[in-house]
Amino acid sequence: MAEPSVVVTGGAGFIGSHTVEQLLKQGCRVAVVDDFSTGKRANLVAVRDNERLTIIEADVSDGLWSCLSGYVQKHGPVQRIIHLAAQTSVVRSVESPLHDLRANYTATMNAADYARRTGAKRVVFASSAAIYGDVETVPVRESQVALPLSPYGLHKLASEQALHYHAAVHGVPASVFRFFNVYGPRQDPNSPYTGVISIFINRALQNLPLTIFGDGTQTRDFVFVGDIARTLAEACLSDRAGFSLANLGTGNATSVTELAKEIVRLCGSTSTISHGPARAGEIKHSLAAITQARELLDYAPEVALADGLGQTVAWYRSALE
Ligand code: NAD
Ligand code: UD1
């Protein structure tokens, strides 16, 4: 039987490139659709010679029909879509909400519509903890009322609902995951919107000072990119019907102070740790309840923070050489 054919939108990005590697390892044929706005060809360097990989430069907000037509002619219909392409910055979504609408909601509608019209077997979607807004109690469950505090969160939530609609009314199976704070190799430390771990490691390796915003007692649920990629690939290849929704984190909270100290230690760094003003409007605690993912997929994060940080430090070290 022919290998499953999977489209990964945003496949040249941080999470996308790990997901593509995982799918290829599992024997899939993979088409990456990416506009390279934040993604890089270098992220796919380890797999670029794999004959089961096709890289297509295109904007998903313009739809998937024309950019995939050559691929489909050559390799047959797309069976599954992992939709990761997005405008990923909360700050930028506040500055340009209509751009965010197109890059997030319209792009998801395009992926869902393509799946509906071609009879694809599944769409997997990267949503975010940002849909919850400021919750009063943690860990946060999927049943928590979602009140996003940014256009990014609003458009991720609307995208989830668009996929629910396509599953309920048009029978397109969908798996939605709300990622918490993902970290690991290839997260771009030079992006102004990158995560705290990539900033701290990149600076610690250069013995530059680390700045904690606020008192450092705020906590986050940091999940390693390998655990996310493995889960996306598994969900994408499943034949479960209907719509499912699950948080993806670890269920463990880490304070920013603990994180900074551990990174300085792991890097053998002389960086100092100081405090600056807290970020305006920042939430204090973010932590995922992960029972839903466990029930759906037998999900259990495999990489503990200390191990994941170690792998990430090793990667940044080699990237700086
Ligand atoms: P990333 O910026 O590395 O990846 C996004 C990819 O999408 C890039 O390769 C970019 O070039 C591509 N892209 C953007 N707009 C596109 C468009 N219109 N058409 C085609 N390609 C486009 O970011 P990431 O961290 O890997 O994020 C992947 C997904 O996970 C996103 O949907 C993001 O919202 C979601 N997410 C990430 C985190 C996190 O902690 N990194 C947390 C929650 C949700
Ligand atoms: C951000 C997004 C969230 C997204 C998440 C995933 C916002 C409001 N939220 O969350 O939607 O799902 O990323 O990546 O943007 N920090 C420092 N020093 C630094 C950088 C960060 O102390 O140099 C602190 C921040 O104040 C925060 C924590 O580290 O308390 C984590 O920050 P960050 O990695 O930017 O992610 P979030 O703000 O949690």
- Check residues 321 and 9 and name the one with the higher pLDDT: 9
Question: Average pLDDT for residues 175-204, to the nearest whole number?
Answer: 96
One-letter amino acid at 188 equals: D
Map residue 296 onto helix, strand or coil.
Answer: helix
> Is the beta carbon of 4 within 6 A of some atom in ligand 1?
no
**DSSP 3-state assignment of 84?**
coil
In the chain, the percentage of residues whose pLDDT exceeds 90 is 96
Q: What's CA 63's distance to the chain center, in Å?
A: 21
The Cα–Cα gap between 239 and 9 comes to 20
Confidence of residue 321 (pLDDT cuts 50, 70, 90): confident
Structure confidence at residue 3 (pLDDT)? 92
Pocket test for ligand 2, best of 273, 279, 285, 286 (most atoms within 8 A of CB): 279
Ligand 1 centre and the CA of 12: distance in Å? 9
Tell how far the Cα of 96 is from the centroid of ligand 1, in angstroms: 17
Among the bound ligands, name the one nearest to the CA of residue 219.
2
Distance from the CA of 103 to the center of ligand 2, in angstroms? 21
Alpha helices in 137-255 (DSSP H): 151-170, 196-204, 225-237
DSSP code at position 313: H
Cβ within 8 Å of residue 137, ≥6 positions away: none
pLDDT the model gives residue 2: 81
Tens-place pLDDT, residues 142-183: 999 999 999 999 999 999 999 999 999 999 999 999 999 999
Atom 20 of ligand 2, nearest CA residue: 196
| Ligand 1 pocket member 88 (CB < 6 A) | yes
Alpha-carbon gap, residue 32 to 44, rounded angstroms? 10
Average pLDDT over residues 64-69: 98
Strand segments, DSSP code E, in the chain are 5-9, 29-34, 53-57, 80-83, 122-128, 174-179, 181-183, 210-213, 219-220, 222-224, 243-248, 254-255, 273-276
- 91 CA distance to ligand 1 middle (Å): 14
Helix boundaries (H) for 119-149: none
Q: What is the pLDDT of residues 67-111, one digit of tens each?
A: 999 999 999 999 999 999 999 999 999 999 999 999 999 999 999
Give 1's pLDDT tier (boundaries 50, 70, 90): low
Please report the pLDDT score of residue 192 as a whole number. 86
Distance CA 87, CA 219 (A): 25
Cβ–ligand 1 contact at 185 (below 6 Å): no
Pocket residue to mutate for ligand 1, from 68, 84, 101, most atoms within 8 A of Cβ: 84
Q: Ligand 2: which residues within 6 Å by Cβ?
A: 90, 128-130, 181, 195-196, 199, 211-213, 218, 220, 256, 279, 282, 286
71, 114, 132, 152: which one is catalytic? 152
Q: CA angle, 108 as apex, 24 and 75 as ends, to 5°? A: 40
The residue length of the chain stands at 321
* φ, ψ for residue 264, nearest 5 deg: -60, -40
Rounded Cα distance, 197 and 100, in Å:
25
pLDDT single digits (tens) 10-46: 999 999 999 999 999 999 999 999 999 999 999 999 9
Taking the complete model, does pTM exceed 0.85, yes or no?
A: yes
Query: Which ligand 1 atom lies nearest to the CA of residue 59?
Result: 19
Report the nearest-CA residue for atom 21 of ligand 1.
34
Contact 301 CB / ligand 1 (< 6 Å): no
255-285 pLDDT, tens digit each:
999 999 999 999 999 999 999 999 988 889 9
Which of 42, 39, 44 has its CA nearest to residue 30?
44
Catalytic (active site) residue 132: no
Average pLDDT of the segment spanning 58-67: 98
Averaged pLDDT score across all residues of the chain: 97
Specify the long-range contacts of residues 33-36, CB closer than 8 Å, at least 24 apart.
Answer: 33/7, 33/8, 33/9, 33/58, 33/60, 33/64, 33/67, 33/68, 33/85, 34/9, 34/10, 34/58, 34/85, 35/59, 35/60, 35/85, 36/12
Above pLDDT 70, what percent of the chain?
100
Q: Which atom of ligand 2 is nearest the CA belonging to 212?
A: 22
